[in-house]
C-alpha cells in the first residue's frame, strides 16, 4: 500500500494516508471532510539529473 501526503481543502490540515485504491475517498483526520487533495512529495517533485547534499539543505541543519 502506498503512503500519500494530503491536504484538506476545508481546514488546511496536512496528513499522510495509506491508500489501497486510487478510487478510495480520503477523509481528513482533523475535520472529517472528504474534500482533500493529494500533494506532491518532495521526493517525487525532484528534477531528474539533479543532486543535493544534506550539507546545503535547510531541512538537514544541525543533523546529518
CATH code of 3's domain: 2.20.28
**How much is the pLDDT for 12?**
97
* CB hemisphere CA count around 19 (13 angstroms): 15
pTM of the model: 0.60
Residue 56 falls within a domain, yes or no? no
More confident site: 29 or 64: 29
The band of 60, judged by pLDDT with boundaries at 50, 70 and 90, is low
> Which domain does 2 fall in, by range?
1-42
**How much is the pLDDT for 23?**
83
Note the pLDDT tens digit of each residue in 3-54.
899 999 999 999 999 988 878 899 999 999 999 999 987 665 556 666 655 5
Residue 21 falls within a domain, yes or no? yes
Amino acid at each position: 500500500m502506498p503512503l500519500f501526503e494530503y491536504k484538506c481543502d476545508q481546514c488546511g490540515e496536512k496528513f499522510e494516508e495509506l491508500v489501497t485504491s486510487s478510487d478510495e475517498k480520503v477523509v481528513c483526520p482533523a475535520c472529517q471532510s472528504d474534500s482533500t487533495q493529494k500533494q506532491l512529495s518532495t521526493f517525487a517533485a525532484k528534477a531528474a539529473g539533479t543532486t543535493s547534499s544534506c550539507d546545503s539543505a535547510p531541512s538537514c541543519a544541525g543533523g546529518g
